[in-house]
Amino acid sequence: MATTRRMFCFVLVMVLMGCCCSAKIYKVGDSKGWTAKHGTYYDWAKRKEFQVGDSLMFQYDGNVNDVTQVSSRLEYQFCNSLSPKAVYNTGHDVVTLTEPGYHFFITSNHSQCVAGQKLVVLVVHDHPIPPPPPPRKIFPFGKDYKVGDSNEWRVPEESDFYSKWSEEKQFHVGDNLLFYYNDQVDDVLEINSNLEFKSCETTSPVAVHNAGQDLIRLTKPGVRYFITSKIGHCEAGLKLRVEVRPLSKSVPKKMQLSPFDRFINWLHESFRPHPHH
Protein backbone atom coordinates (compact mmCIF):
# COMPACT_ATOMS: atom_id res chain seq x y z
CA MET A 1 0.00 0.00 0.00
CA ALA A 2 2.78 2.41 1.04
CA THR A 3 4.69 1.51 -2.10
CA THR A 4 1.68 2.27 -4.22
CA ARG A 5 1.26 5.67 -2.59
CA ARG A 6 4.93 6.50 -2.99
CA MET A 7 4.70 5.37 -6.58
CA PHE A 8 1.70 7.64 -7.08
CA CYS A 9 3.52 10.64 -5.57
CA PHE A 10 6.50 9.95 -7.76
CA VAL A 11 4.33 9.90 -10.87
CA LEU A 12 2.54 13.07 -9.74
CA VAL A 13 5.84 14.90 -9.23
CA MET A 14 7.07 13.78 -12.62
CA VAL A 15 3.87 15.06 -14.24
CA LEU A 16 4.11 18.42 -12.46
CA MET A 17 7.77 18.76 -13.39
CA GLY A 18 6.85 17.95 -16.94
CA CYS A 19 4.34 20.76 -16.90
CA CYS A 20 6.81 23.34 -15.39
CA CYS A 21 9.81 22.48 -17.50
CA SER A 22 8.04 22.24 -20.79
CA ALA A 23 8.13 25.98 -21.65
CA LYS A 24 11.53 26.71 -23.17
CA ILE A 25 13.49 29.92 -23.69
CA TYR A 26 15.43 30.03 -26.92
CA LYS A 27 18.28 32.47 -27.36
CA VAL A 28 17.85 33.70 -30.91
CA GLY A 29 20.96 32.99 -32.99
CA ASP A 30 22.61 31.23 -30.02
CA SER A 31 26.02 32.81 -29.33
CA LYS A 32 25.73 35.16 -32.33
CA GLY A 33 22.67 36.84 -30.86
CA TRP A 34 20.40 39.11 -32.92
CA THR A 35 22.54 40.47 -35.73
CA ALA A 36 22.73 40.71 -39.52
CA LYS A 37 23.86 37.49 -41.18
CA HIS A 38 22.23 36.04 -44.25
CA GLY A 39 20.45 32.76 -43.70
CA THR A 40 21.44 32.54 -40.04
CA TYR A 41 17.97 32.71 -38.57
CA TYR A 42 16.40 30.54 -41.21
CA ASP A 43 18.78 27.71 -40.32
CA TRP A 44 18.56 28.48 -36.63
CA ALA A 45 14.76 28.23 -36.55
CA LYS A 46 14.49 25.28 -38.90
CA ARG A 47 16.01 22.86 -36.44
CA LYS A 48 13.64 23.75 -33.59
CA GLU A 49 10.06 23.08 -32.71
CA PHE A 50 8.48 26.06 -30.99
CA GLN A 51 5.45 25.50 -28.82
CA VAL A 52 2.88 27.84 -27.35
CA GLY A 53 4.37 29.16 -24.08
CA ASP A 54 7.98 29.08 -25.25
CA SER A 55 9.96 32.32 -25.36
CA LEU A 56 12.51 33.89 -27.65
CA MET A 57 15.36 35.87 -26.15
CA PHE A 58 16.90 38.55 -28.35
CA GLN A 59 20.34 39.86 -27.40
CA TYR A 60 21.71 42.83 -29.38
CA ASP A 61 23.02 46.40 -29.32
CA GLY A 62 19.95 48.49 -28.57
CA ASN A 63 21.55 51.64 -30.04
CA VAL A 64 21.47 50.40 -33.62
CA ASN A 65 18.80 47.69 -33.65
CA ASP A 66 15.52 46.60 -32.20
CA VAL A 67 13.11 43.70 -32.45
CA THR A 68 10.08 44.61 -34.52
CA GLN A 69 7.34 42.04 -34.67
CA VAL A 70 5.29 42.30 -37.87
CA SER A 71 2.01 40.63 -38.79
CA SER A 72 2.54 39.29 -42.26
CA ARG A 73 4.99 37.36 -44.35
CA LEU A 74 4.98 40.20 -46.86
CA GLU A 75 6.16 42.76 -44.30
CA TYR A 76 8.76 40.23 -43.21
CA GLN A 77 9.93 39.64 -46.77
CA PHE A 78 10.22 43.32 -47.61
CA CYS A 79 11.55 44.45 -44.20
CA ASN A 80 8.57 46.71 -43.79
CA SER A 81 8.48 47.99 -40.20
CA LEU A 82 5.90 50.75 -40.76
CA SER A 83 3.00 49.03 -38.97
CA PRO A 84 4.54 46.77 -36.36
CA LYS A 85 2.58 44.46 -34.10
CA ALA A 86 5.10 45.09 -31.30
CA VAL A 87 8.50 46.73 -30.87
CA TYR A 88 11.13 45.72 -28.30
CA ASN A 89 14.30 47.76 -27.86
CA THR A 90 16.03 47.08 -24.57
CA GLY A 91 18.80 45.05 -26.16
CA HIS A 92 17.77 42.05 -24.08
CA ASP A 93 14.17 41.17 -24.84
CA VAL A 94 12.23 38.06 -23.97
CA VAL A 95 9.20 37.54 -26.17
CA THR A 96 6.74 34.82 -25.19
CA LEU A 97 5.02 33.01 -28.01
CA THR A 98 1.39 32.98 -26.91
CA GLU A 99 -0.40 31.78 -30.02
CA PRO A 100 0.17 29.07 -32.58
CA GLY A 101 1.02 29.99 -36.16
CA TYR A 102 3.73 31.99 -37.85
CA HIS A 103 5.49 34.82 -35.99
CA PHE A 104 7.61 37.30 -37.91
CA PHE A 105 10.44 39.37 -36.42
CA ILE A 106 12.58 41.94 -38.19
CA THR A 107 14.71 44.91 -37.14
CA SER A 108 13.56 48.40 -38.03
CA ASN A 109 17.14 49.14 -39.09
CA HIS A 110 16.35 48.55 -42.75
CA SER A 111 19.84 47.87 -44.07
CA GLN A 112 20.42 45.35 -41.30
CA CYS A 113 17.10 43.64 -41.99
CA VAL A 114 17.86 43.39 -45.70
CA ALA A 115 21.21 41.88 -44.76
CA GLY A 116 19.40 39.04 -43.01
CA GLN A 117 18.42 40.22 -39.55
CA LYS A 118 14.96 38.71 -39.66
CA LEU A 119 13.35 35.67 -38.14
CA VAL A 120 10.23 33.65 -38.82
CA VAL A 121 9.12 30.92 -36.42
CA LEU A 122 6.26 28.49 -36.66
CA VAL A 123 4.63 27.89 -33.28
CA VAL A 124 2.59 24.77 -32.68
CA HIS A 125 0.14 23.85 -29.94
CA ASP A 126 1.81 22.40 -26.89
CA HIS A 127 -0.65 19.53 -26.75
CA PRO A 128 -0.42 17.43 -29.84
CA ILE A 129 -3.78 17.51 -31.57
CA PRO A 130 -5.09 13.95 -31.80
CA PRO A 131 -4.82 12.78 -35.37
CA PRO A 132 -8.12 12.54 -37.20
CA PRO A 133 -9.41 9.01 -37.69
CA PRO A 134 -8.06 7.29 -40.77
CA PRO A 135 -9.95 8.58 -43.79
CA ARG A 136 -10.46 5.16 -45.28
CA LYS A 137 -12.90 4.29 -42.50
CA ILE A 138 -15.11 7.31 -43.16
CA PHE A 139 -14.70 7.42 -46.91
CA PRO A 140 -14.11 3.91 -48.11
CA PHE A 141 -13.84 4.96 -51.74
CA GLY A 142 -11.45 7.92 -51.48
CA LYS A 143 -8.76 8.18 -54.11
CA ASP A 144 -5.25 9.60 -53.70
CA TYR A 145 -4.13 12.10 -56.31
CA LYS A 146 -0.46 12.97 -56.58
CA VAL A 147 -0.63 16.66 -57.48
CA GLY A 148 1.04 17.31 -60.85
CA ASP A 149 1.85 13.61 -61.29
CA SER A 150 5.52 13.33 -62.28
CA ASN A 151 6.02 17.12 -62.29
CA GLU A 152 4.99 17.08 -58.62
CA TRP A 153 4.53 20.55 -57.00
CA ARG A 154 7.02 22.86 -58.68
CA VAL A 155 6.94 25.71 -61.17
CA PRO A 156 5.62 24.09 -64.37
CA GLU A 157 6.87 24.71 -67.90
CA GLU A 158 3.41 25.68 -69.07
CA SER A 159 1.67 28.14 -66.78
CA ASP A 160 -1.70 26.39 -67.20
CA PHE A 161 -0.26 22.99 -66.29
CA TYR A 162 -2.07 22.67 -62.93
CA SER A 163 -5.37 23.98 -64.20
CA LYS A 164 -5.30 21.35 -66.95
CA TRP A 165 -4.25 18.71 -64.46
CA SER A 166 -7.18 19.57 -62.23
CA GLU A 167 -9.75 19.97 -65.00
CA GLU A 168 -9.28 16.51 -66.39
CA LYS A 169 -10.15 14.93 -63.06
CA GLN A 170 -13.23 14.58 -60.91
CA PHE A 171 -12.50 15.08 -57.24
CA HIS A 172 -14.93 13.85 -54.64
CA VAL A 173 -15.32 14.21 -50.91
CA GLY A 174 -13.06 11.59 -49.37
CA ASP A 175 -10.29 11.91 -51.95
CA ASN A 176 -6.80 13.04 -50.93
CA LEU A 177 -4.32 15.39 -52.54
CA LEU A 178 -0.67 14.49 -52.10
CA PHE A 179 1.76 17.35 -52.56
CA TYR A 180 5.38 16.40 -53.14
CA TYR A 181 7.96 19.20 -53.42
CA ASN A 182 11.33 20.50 -52.31
CA ASP A 183 10.60 22.16 -48.97
CA GLN A 184 13.66 24.41 -49.39
CA VAL A 185 12.06 25.93 -52.45
CA ASP A 186 8.29 25.83 -52.14
CA ASP A 187 5.43 25.33 -49.75
CA VAL A 188 1.68 24.87 -50.01
CA LEU A 189 -0.61 27.68 -48.90
CA GLU A 190 -4.30 27.06 -48.89
CA ILE A 191 -6.28 30.23 -49.47
CA ASN A 192 -9.94 31.07 -49.32
CA SER A 193 -11.07 32.86 -52.41
CA ASN A 194 -10.87 32.99 -56.15
CA LEU A 195 -9.71 36.60 -55.88
CA GLU A 196 -6.69 35.66 -53.76
CA PHE A 197 -6.07 32.78 -56.14
CA LYS A 198 -6.08 35.04 -59.20
CA SER A 199 -3.75 37.60 -57.63
CA CYS A 200 -1.50 35.05 -55.86
CA GLU A 201 -2.24 36.71 -52.53
CA THR A 202 -0.21 35.06 -49.77
CA THR A 203 -1.00 37.24 -46.79
CA SER A 204 -3.96 35.41 -45.26
CA PRO A 205 -3.71 31.70 -45.87
CA VAL A 206 -6.18 29.38 -44.14
CA ALA A 207 -3.49 26.71 -43.88
CA VAL A 208 0.23 26.44 -44.49
CA HIS A 209 2.02 23.20 -45.27
CA ASN A 210 5.77 22.96 -45.65
CA ALA A 211 6.83 19.42 -44.89
CA GLY A 212 7.67 18.63 -48.51
CA GLN A 213 5.19 15.75 -48.44
CA ASP A 214 1.71 16.80 -47.47
CA LEU A 215 -1.51 14.91 -47.62
CA ILE A 216 -4.58 17.10 -47.80
CA ARG A 217 -8.00 15.55 -47.38
CA LEU A 218 -10.97 16.79 -49.31
CA THR A 219 -13.57 16.57 -46.58
CA LYS A 220 -16.42 18.61 -47.98
CA PRO A 221 -17.82 19.72 -51.31
CA GLY A 222 -16.77 23.08 -52.74
CA VAL A 223 -13.77 24.74 -54.33
CA ARG A 224 -10.31 24.70 -52.75
CA TYR A 225 -7.36 26.84 -53.72
CA PHE A 226 -3.65 26.13 -53.24
CA ILE A 227 -0.68 28.37 -54.04
CA THR A 228 2.91 28.80 -52.87
CA SER A 229 4.38 31.67 -50.89
CA LYS A 230 7.58 31.81 -52.99
CA ILE A 231 7.69 35.09 -54.85
CA GLY A 232 7.03 34.66 -58.55
CA HIS A 233 6.26 30.94 -58.40
CA CYS A 234 2.50 31.26 -58.11
CA GLU A 235 2.48 33.83 -60.90
CA ALA A 236 4.41 31.37 -63.05
CA GLY A 237 1.65 28.80 -62.64
CA LEU A 238 2.34 27.01 -59.36
CA LYS A 239 -1.29 27.24 -58.25
CA LEU A 240 -4.05 24.70 -58.04
CA ARG A 241 -7.81 25.04 -57.98
CA VAL A 242 -9.76 21.92 -57.13
CA GLU A 243 -13.50 21.48 -57.36
CA VAL A 244 -14.68 18.90 -54.85
CA ARG A 245 -17.95 17.17 -55.66
CA PRO A 246 -20.19 15.61 -53.05
CA LEU A 247 -19.80 11.94 -52.36
CA SER A 248 -22.22 10.23 -54.70
CA LYS A 249 -24.22 7.90 -52.47
CA SER A 250 -25.38 5.37 -55.04
CA VAL A 251 -21.91 4.33 -56.12
CA PRO A 252 -20.61 2.99 -52.83
CA LYS A 253 -23.91 1.25 -52.08
CA LYS A 254 -23.81 -0.68 -55.32
CA MET A 255 -20.17 -1.54 -54.87
CA GLN A 256 -20.72 -2.73 -51.32
CA LEU A 257 -23.09 -5.51 -52.42
CA SER A 258 -21.54 -8.92 -52.03
CA PRO A 259 -21.99 -11.51 -54.78
CA PHE A 260 -24.56 -13.18 -52.54
CA ASP A 261 -26.57 -9.95 -52.18
CA ARG A 262 -26.46 -9.47 -55.91
CA PHE A 263 -27.72 -13.00 -56.39
CA ILE A 264 -30.63 -12.32 -54.00
CA ASN A 265 -31.42 -9.11 -55.90
CA TRP A 266 -31.36 -11.01 -59.15
CA LEU A 267 -33.82 -13.54 -57.70
CA HIS A 268 -36.12 -10.70 -56.63
CA GLU A 269 -35.95 -9.07 -60.05
CA SER A 270 -36.51 -12.32 -61.93
CA PHE A 271 -39.33 -13.76 -59.91
CA ARG A 272 -41.23 -10.62 -59.07
CA PRO A 273 -44.95 -11.20 -59.69
CA HIS A 274 -45.95 -9.31 -62.84
CA PRO A 275 -49.09 -7.20 -62.54
CA HIS A 276 -50.45 -8.06 -66.02
CA HIS A 277 -50.34 -11.78 -65.69
The residues with which 188 forms a beta bridge, in sequence order, are 209
Closer CB to ligand NAG, 22 or 111, in the complex: 111
Closer CB to ligand NAG, 110 or 217, in the complex: 110
Output the smallest distance, CB 89 to ligand NAG, in A.
Answer: 11
Q: Which stretch binds ligand NAG (CB under 6 A): 104-112, 132-140, 214-222, 263-271?
A: 104-112
Is 112 a binding residue for ligand NAG by CB under 6 A? The answer is yes
Go through 134-167 and write b for each residue having 16 or more CB atoms within 10 A of its CB, e for each that does not. Answer: ebeeebeebeebebbeebebebbeeeebbeebbe
> Which of 69, 81, 109, 229 contacts ligand NAG by CB under 6 A?
109
Residue 97, Cβ neighbours under 10 Å: how many? 21
What part of residues 151-180 is at the interface with ligand NAG (CB under 6 A)? Answer: none
Is 117 a binding residue for ligand NAG by CB under 6 A? The answer is no
- Cβ-proximal residue to ligand NAG, closest one: 109
> Which of 17, 19, 64, 207 contacts ligand NAG by CB under 6 A?
64
Output the smallest distance, CB 93 to ligand NAG, in A.
Answer: 16
Go through 229-252 and write b for each residue having 16 or more CB atoms within 10 A of its CB, e for each that does not. Answer: bbeebbeebbbbbbebeebeeeee
By rule CB under 6 A, what count of residues binds ligand NAG? 4
Output the smallest distance, CB 73 to ligand NAG, in A.
Answer: 23
Q: Is 58 exposed, middle or buried (0-12, 13-18, 19+ CB in 10 A)?
A: buried
Is 7 a binding residue for ligand NAG by CB under 6 A? The answer is no
Go through 172-211 and write b for each residue having 16 or more CB atoms within 10 A of its CB, e for each that does not. Answer: bbbbbbebebeeeebbbbebeeeebbeebbbeebeebbee
Which residues of this protein are in contact with ligand NAG, per CB under 6 A?
Answer: 64, 109, 111-112
